[in-house]
């Protein structure tokens, strides 16, 4: 399948590292002009430069803004204008016993992981609908349907994103705009490496630590390894394309078969 995104402008929130940077790289590789975003100007510019090295000739626009706030979202839109592709990747996660999560922490996770996506969709979806083309993707997680005991607050936000996705897909019905969730499984990023070592200890070499983590904490994975970020980026590229025009309102899995169900 030849996917060509030339002439399309994409924003990937939280893309100064990890999964977000990988998604931005694959979109750029397919010809899209990509806005890379993070809170730190230095990290955002560094990520943009790394993408340009991976994809010579790519148009990559680094913009530092805190998209977990309305002010940050407004600031970003003033600089980039309208979009064809919106990827809501911004998110935080961490392990904490559920009985120790206080009100402020519940609110913080909802603000960053859910409301940031809602705000950007509300900001960009009307223009997409008017132009008759648009692609919105919310990066969810296997944790949306397999709530992890060690981070229930995180799982709650990803479940909420599935509902947000379905609702906005209905709002865009018949306009040529699609809205989907991408349900990522356990993925190999620096943050997840830290999380793995937090759970299994720092003394093991990485390969052994990863294997123990998958065995003890993610035993239902059918690929029995962490997913590489580019594998998620490939799914986003497809969903961003003309070829994916009949896929909307869905929760598309890139989970390594972790979710033990034939449906999300």
Whether the CA torsion 254, 83, 49, 63 is positive or negative: it is negative
The helix or strand, by DSSP H or E, that contains position 137, with its residue range, turns out to be strand 134-141
pLDDT at 191: 79
pLDDT at position 264, please?
Answer: 73
Q: What is the pLDDT of residues 18-32, one digit of tens each?
A: 999 999 999 999 999
| pLDDT value of residue 189 | 87
- In the 8-state DSSP scheme, what is residue 245? T
pLDDT at residue 192, as a whole number? 84
pLDDT at position 113 is 98
Phi-psi region for residue 174, left (φ > 0), alpha (ψ -120 to 50) or beta? left
pLDDT in tens, 68-90: 999 999 999 999 999 999 999 99
Residue of 154, 168, 238, 258 with catalytic role: 154
How much is the pLDDT for 76? 97
Residue 258's pLDDT is 93
> Can you give the pLDDT at residue 263?
83
CA atoms within 13 A on the CB side of 264: 23
The predicted structure's pLDDT at residue 102:
98
Is residue 86 helix, strand or coil? strand
Per-residue model confidence (pLDDT) at position 121:
98
Which two three-digit tokens encode residue 166? 């379905």
Active site residue 154: yes
| pTM more than 0.75 | yes
- Which residues of the chain are modeled with pLDDT < 50? none
Check: CB of residue 5 under 8 Å from CB of residue 80.
Answer: no
């Amino acid at each position: 399948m030849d996917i060509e995104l030339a002439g399309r402008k994409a924003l990937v929130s939280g893309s100064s590292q990890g999964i977000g940077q990988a998604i931005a790289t694959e979109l750029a590789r397919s010809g899209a002009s990509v806005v890379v975003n993070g809170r730190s100007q230095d990290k955002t510019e560094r990520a943009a430069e790394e993408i340009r090295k991976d994809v010579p000739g790519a148009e990559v626009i680094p913009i530092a803004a805190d998209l977990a706030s309305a002010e940050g979202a407004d600031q970003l839109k003033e600089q980039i204008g309208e979009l064809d592709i919106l990827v809501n990747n911004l998110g935080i996660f961490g392990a904490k016993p559920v009985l120790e999560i206080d009100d402020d922490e519940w609110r913080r996770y909802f603000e960053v992981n859910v409301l940031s996506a809602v705000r950007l969709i509300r900001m960009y979806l009307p223009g997409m609908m008017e132009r008759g083309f648009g692609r919105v993707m919310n990066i969810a997680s296997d944790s949306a349907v397999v709530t992890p005991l060690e981070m229930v607050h995180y799982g709650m936000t990803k479940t909420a994103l599935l509902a947000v996705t379905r609702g906005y897909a209905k709002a865009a019905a018949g306009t040529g705009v699609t809205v989907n969730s991408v349900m990522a499984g356990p993925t190999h990023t620096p943050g997840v490496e830290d999380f793995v070592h937090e759970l299994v200890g720092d003394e093991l070499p990485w390969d052994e630590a990863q294997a123990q983590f998958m065995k003890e904490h993610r035993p239902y994975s059918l690929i029995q390894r962490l997913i590489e970020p580019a594998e998620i980026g490939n799914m986003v590229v497809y969903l961003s394309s003309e070829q994916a025009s009949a896929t909307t309102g869905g929760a598309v899995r890139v989970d390594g078969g972790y979710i033990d169900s034939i449906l999300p």
